[in-house]
Amino acid sequence: MDCYKFALLVVLLSYIERCWSSSCVVDSFSVKQDFDPKKYAGKWYAQQKKDPEGLFLQDNISAEYTIEEDGTMIASSKGRVTLFGFWVVCADMAAQYTVPDPSTPGKMFMNYQGLASYLSSGGDNYWIIDTDYDNYAITYACRFLKDDGTCNDGYALVFSRNPRGLPPAIQRIVRQKQEEICMAGQFKPVLQSGQCTNTHLDIQKHFSQRIFINYHTSVGNFGRITNFPLLFHRSLLSCPTPSFTTLL
């Protein structure tokens, strides 16, 4: 009898695992229907984040989206990041977006360029899971898929138009969407203390010219910062201003 119960439990657990895996297949995630980039344009402030593997922006994250004359969406983003475990800097970032399938405008591809010699250039998927355009937005990216179609390394951000946060009613919507993308309980709050508000990056110039910044350090290559490339800003905490070389 005990063996029968054990076998039944194994079958039940296997069934639950298959159901969970099926519901978390990335391609099954729904995105904002008929996403309108013009309504989405403007300033957003990150309130929560689920980090990917590797270095990632830690706080005071904001993004301003602009629509160019040809309809292309670009973004100027900023936030703080800690380097070498102790060196806190503000970072300006740039990104440009394309829509691979016009029938699904909420599924975009984000192109970024590494401005520093030790940062890579490339791209990530950038999906608008949900937004009401006026209050909140939830973005998602999966960098690597498992064999079963679930995500092996992904990240997501919850944005608000107001840096002070989201009202309770919208927070409930956000939690539901976090469950739908299988990231419930994985988000961390993002501090918005007004840091990194005076930085500026000319995005159009950035995408029309290749700009490289070489940071002179003996520490070596510390890896890639995900989501956007970085242009280090002079705002440093308890550290002297580093030496940069810019080649146009």
Q: Please, which pLDDT band fits residue 99 given cuts at 50, 70 and 90?
A: very high
pLDDT greater than 90 at residue 4 = no
pLDDT value of residue 77: 87
CB neighbours of 135 closer than 8 A, spacing ≥ 6? 160, 161, 162, 166, 167, 170
Mean pLDDT of the chain: 76
- Mean pLDDT, residues 222-234: 40
Please report, for the chain, the start and end positions of each structural domain, with discontinuous segments joined by +: 30-247
The yes-or-no verdict on residue 210 having pLDDT over 50 is no
Between 139 and 4, name the one with better pLDDT. Answer: 139
Q: For 30-247, CATH number? A: 2.40.128.20
Percent of the chain with pLDDT over 90: 53
Who has greater pLDDT, 201 or 210?
A: 201
Please report the pLDDT score of residue 236 as a whole number.
37
Work out the pLDDT band at 121, boundaries 50, 70, 90: low
Q: List, in order, residues 6 or more apart from 70 with CB less than 8 Å away.
A: none
pLDDT-above-70 percentage for the chain: 67
pLDDT tens track for 196-209: 876 444 444 444 44
Q: At 243, is the pLDDT very low, low, confident or very high (cuts 50, 70, 90)?
A: very low
Residues 222 and 135: their CA atoms lie apart, in Å, by: 36
pLDDT at res. 53: 84
- 145 exposed, middle or buried (CB, 10 Å; 0-12, 13-18, 19+)? middle
Higher pLDDT, 41 or 241: 41
**Are 57 and 232 within 8 A, CB to CB?**
no
- Residue 32, both tokens: 């904002």
How far is the C-alpha of 75 from the C-alpha of 230, rounded, in Å?
13
